[in-house]
Amino acid sequence: MPTFSIRRLAPAAAFLAALQVHAVSAEDVFKIGAPLALTGGLADEGLKQQRVYRMWAERVNAAGGVSVGDRMIPVEIVEYDYQSDGPRAGQLAERLITDDRVHVIMAPFGSGHTVITATVGERYRVPTIACVASSESVFANDNRYLFGTLSPNANMTDVMTAFLQENVPDLTRVAVLGRDDVFPKSMAEATVRAAEAAGLQVVYNALYPVGTMDHSAAVSAIGASNPDWIYITGYTQDLILARRQMDDLGVTAPVVTMVTGPAYQEYTDALGSLAEGVTSSSWWHHSTTYEGVGAWPTTVSFYEDFLAVSGGVDPDYVHGSCAGALVMLEDVLARAGSLDGEAIRDALAATDVMTFYGQISFGENGMNQARDLPIIQVQDREIKVLFPPSIASADLRIVAE
């Protein structure tokens, strides 16, 4: 049985044959369906998910598979490229369930595409694991089959605001620019709420459309508002462009935050010195020292394994959260005792387990519970952790006076 497979559309005869095989052997393999953005605008993120899915499957199968009750069975990751197109992600999620007969769906990157696939999972009563969706709105629809390993966005923005107020006493004026998409928009809105609740003045607050190729007008307006803190949300290429245009137009502030750009190595690689001093929030960092269950029982074991396959490139929170979700599933299956969708769902709902990624315990809405999340900054082209104190490796550097 292959560890992973990229499926193609099958003719009717092959499909019928596949159904006959499933009738005999469906319980002999644990199948995870993975609609992945392997091409298109989210390809960087989709390839990260694919890497850790394959790492985990190979590691688990080499050890004899996963424990389901009193049996050890192999795992298979069934992949499709949804080409960064949301509706196609939903179509492929349905194909994974109805044709490939997967037992669990791993949602694609981002809150918007997670909603689409999770809706399909709910329709067929197949659990969906969202390892890269943190917007509370995704989990506000009473979907009993959706579970997410990232903590809520508000936990990040409240902590960031409090941290900056403590470390930058003269901070009073905040400019916020966000991509008009589920996750970035929710982060921008949460930052505005956190800033206002803390008594800060929001001097600029705007959203830019998906696909924007020129941020110069917004960047100029931000500069004119004379902020102490510039906060921009979006995906990697958005943030790289915005940072370059800030430099072109001479716009800066004592604190510049981009979410989630600096969490990704490709952000710093693309910007070089322009990434210097940019802060961000993250859900995980490899300097943590968690110990728990599954294929990677410690943060160190996952980190070393990842370095071996990445050529020395550090993992980021996407890698950590998605790999953490999989080791959590090892615990879930052992408790479920079967591959029945309802049994897996019930075991997921009862989860309270420590992993190398940290504690995973789902609230009533299916989101992982809030915990201290890292605040990071690019310093000397390396990611330094500023908070929490237990893993901090540097102090905050002011970008400009």
Query: Does residue 19 carry a pLDDT above 60?
Result: no
For residue range 55-67, what is the model confidence (pLDDT) as tens digits? 999 999 999 999 9
Question: 126 and 107 in contact (C-beta within 8 Å)?
Answer: no
What stretch(es) of the chain map to CATH 3.40.50.2300? Answer: 4-151+286-361, 153-282+374-387
**Least confident stretch, 77-86, 148-157, 299-308:** 148-157
Please report, as a single letter, which amino acid is at residue 23. Answer: A
Tell me if residue 367 falls in helix, strand or coil. Answer: strand
Note the CATH number of domain 153-282+374-387: 3.40.50.2300
Take residue 51 and report the two structure tokens written for it. Answer: 């890497």
**Residue 113: other Cβ atoms inside 10 A:** 31
Q: pTM for the complete prediction?
A: 0.81
Question: 176 and 188 in contact (C-beta within 8 Å)?
Answer: yes
Over range 181-200, report the average pLDDT: 93
What mean pLDDT, rounded, does the chain reach? 91
What confidence tier does 266 reach under pLDDT thresholds 50, 70, 90?
confident
**Residue 383: other Cβ atoms inside 10 A:** 25
**216-224 and 236-248 are packed helices; what angle lies between their axes, rounded to 10 degrees?**
60
Query: Does residue 216 carry a pLDDT above 90?
Result: yes
Residue 12 has a pLDDT of 37
Residue 140 has a pLDDT of 87
| % of the chain beyond a pLDDT of 70 | 93
For residue range 78-98, what is the model confidence (pLDDT) as tens digits? 999 999 999 999 999 999 999
Return phi, psi of residue 205, to 5°. -155, 110
- DSSP per-residue string spanning 148-186: E-SPPHHHHHHHHHHHHHHH-TT--EEEEEEESSHHHHH
Over range 229-233, report the average pLDDT: 98
What confidence tier does 47 reach under pLDDT thresholds 50, 70, 90?
very high
Question: 321 and 149 in contact (C-beta within 8 Å)?
Answer: yes
Distance CA 246, CA 253 (A): 10
**299-310 and 43-62 are packed helices; what angle lies between their axes, rounded to 10 degrees?**
110
Residue 253 has a pLDDT of 96
Query: Does residue 139 carry a pLDDT above 60?
Result: yes
Residue 27 has a pLDDT of 65
**Residue 323: other Cβ atoms inside 10 A:** 30
Residue 182 has a pLDDT of 84
Tell me if residue 376 falls in helix, strand or coil. Answer: strand
Over range 1-10, report the average pLDDT: 54
The DSSP output letter for 368 is: B
Instruction: Say whether domain 4-151+286-361 belongs to CATH 3.40.1550.10.
Output: no
Residue 178 has a pLDDT of 97
**Least confident stretch, 117-121, 215-219, 266-270, 343-347:** 266-270
Cβ neighbours for 114, distance < 8 A, ≥ 6 positions apart: 107, 108, 128, 130, 132, 133, 138, 146, 148
Distance CA 251, CA 263 (A): 22
Question: 253 and 278 in contact (C-beta within 8 Å)?
Answer: no
What confidence tier does 37 reach under pLDDT thresholds 50, 70, 90?
very high
